Structure 1
Amino acid sequence: MLMNIEDAIAAAPYAEPERVSPLVRRVLAKNPSAFTYLGTGTYIVGSGTVAVIDPGPDDDAHLTAILAATQGETISHILVTHTHRDHSPLAVRLKALTGADVAGCAELVMEDSGPRMDAGFDPTYAPDHVLQDGESVTGPGWTLTAVHTPGHTSNHLCFALEEEKALFSGDHIMGWSTTVVSPPDGDMTAYMASLKKLQSRDETVYYPTHGDPVTNPQKLVRGYIVHRRQRENQILKLLEDGERDIPAMVATMYAMVSKKLHGAAGRSVLAHLLDLENRGSVERAGADTWRLAA
């Protein structure tokens, strides 16, 4: 029987390092929510001299847990997939205590006027080095290579662990839900291209920042692509009957979803419409009204 979310939170191993592979440990932050699932999974890669991926929210207990998990070791790098506040803020304090280099995604802070479906941006993030696509950082026995995967955010990176054919997938691929793509920074065109990019790679396991390891990643990526194409086809079918606004489309497409979530669902519909507009399939008929392209 599947646990409900309350039971899963109660059973989650917060602050206790979990060994997920010979080279990888995970420490789970206690920040469960509708967009973080059980919380932010911070990964520790290597032994002796280690890298920390997505240090998480600025939380005293989580900082203590990371330091305890790496006691007697050297943290050489703090890597960040993107700058949402559940991923990057603790980098500042962890760097101050360890002297580690902060590397990974570019700085990005944006205001989003629409309903939020995830955490806001972190204004404190200040990387020592922005990793370009294909650029690596190394330590004894481990190599982490940046894989540029925009879509969830324009600055999103994944990190490939060469020695284990593993990918730290951040929020691009999550282990419990489809990811959020919310304009203006979230971009469905870029997101779909990033999914196809991962299809061409050969990693055998993904470690998302939220949720369990993904042991059938190619199947899941294909499922993500199919899911997005189904949503796209729903939109096009609705527009066959004439002009529609986003709230009307959401009411039909998400009829079985709580109305409390319809504002956020509208952001996803907008992302799809902008993608379809880029491809010449739809056009704006008004400020919030769309139709099939002539």
Structure 2
Amino acid sequence: MALTRSTDPLVWIDCEMTGLDPSTDTIMSISCILTTSDLLPLDNGGFDAVIQHTPSQLANMSEWCVRTHGASGLTQACINSTTTAIIAAQALLQYIKQYIPEPRRALLAGNSIHADKMFLLVPPWKPILEHLHYRLFDVSATKEMIRRWACAEILENAPVKQLKHTAREDILESLTEARYYKQLIGGMFPSGTASGTRIVSRQSINPGSTTWGYGVDTGGTPSITMSTGAPGVTMPAGQVAGHANAEAGSHGMVGSPQDSVAHPKIGPPLVPGNTIGLKQAQEEWNVRRNNGTRAGDVGDLGEGFRTDVP
């Protein structure tokens, strides 16, 4: 079944805590920014709260927390605050519902957002999670894919973290990072064909080509324009030339393992992304084929290689 496009909004949350253990540590400050699925702000103001703590509650913080939160001024702000965790949790839930009233639709978003979620599972914060979808929009997961599979230029142009360790600044950096990855994906997989963009395989453009990959057959470079988000979260508009999937056939993508099974004369699969030499593609195909022969056919790479054979 094909994927369907999601228009579900995103609830960006970042917390600063007294430590990393939800059973003993507590949230010192929490910020929230709401966006559409396309990372456009639903509200430019956002939500911020500094939670009241006594000096004794902060006395057991780790050395890192003492140094970091002391330098940012958060420690003293917590001592001065009159906002309890209960008041902050109720106000945050009300703020989210004001813009996203439908329950279990919006996704919790952020960098390593699972860590924040663990603290939101603890009362009085849990009702916030109950209003959101169970899935997470984790920018860090995308970053790890980029670090492993993207070219050097993409790595070099990625937004640089400032490591300010304040809740709002961390969210703004997460949004900047997410917009960068959105721009990359938009360039690789153009979603519109109104301008005549047609996705074709390079082999269909030039059957005698010695490279395997995908290309974009256009009269010009597809442009990706980044919209202006919340204050301090902007990315210059630009043009991105990329790659996209080839035409799909009844057996899957052209040159996919399914096609090669049904049509043995078809060579190694097309490799999405940057072009790859035929020899390298052939070697990859041989590894996949041999693995299926020696250890039982695993079908596609998505099912994983067998690890119980030499």
TM-score by length of 2: 0.24
- If asked which structure has higher relative contact order (CA below 8 Å, sep 6+), I would say 2
TM-score by length of 1: 0.25
Could you say which structure has the larger radius of gyration? 2
Higher helix share: 2
Higher strand share: 1
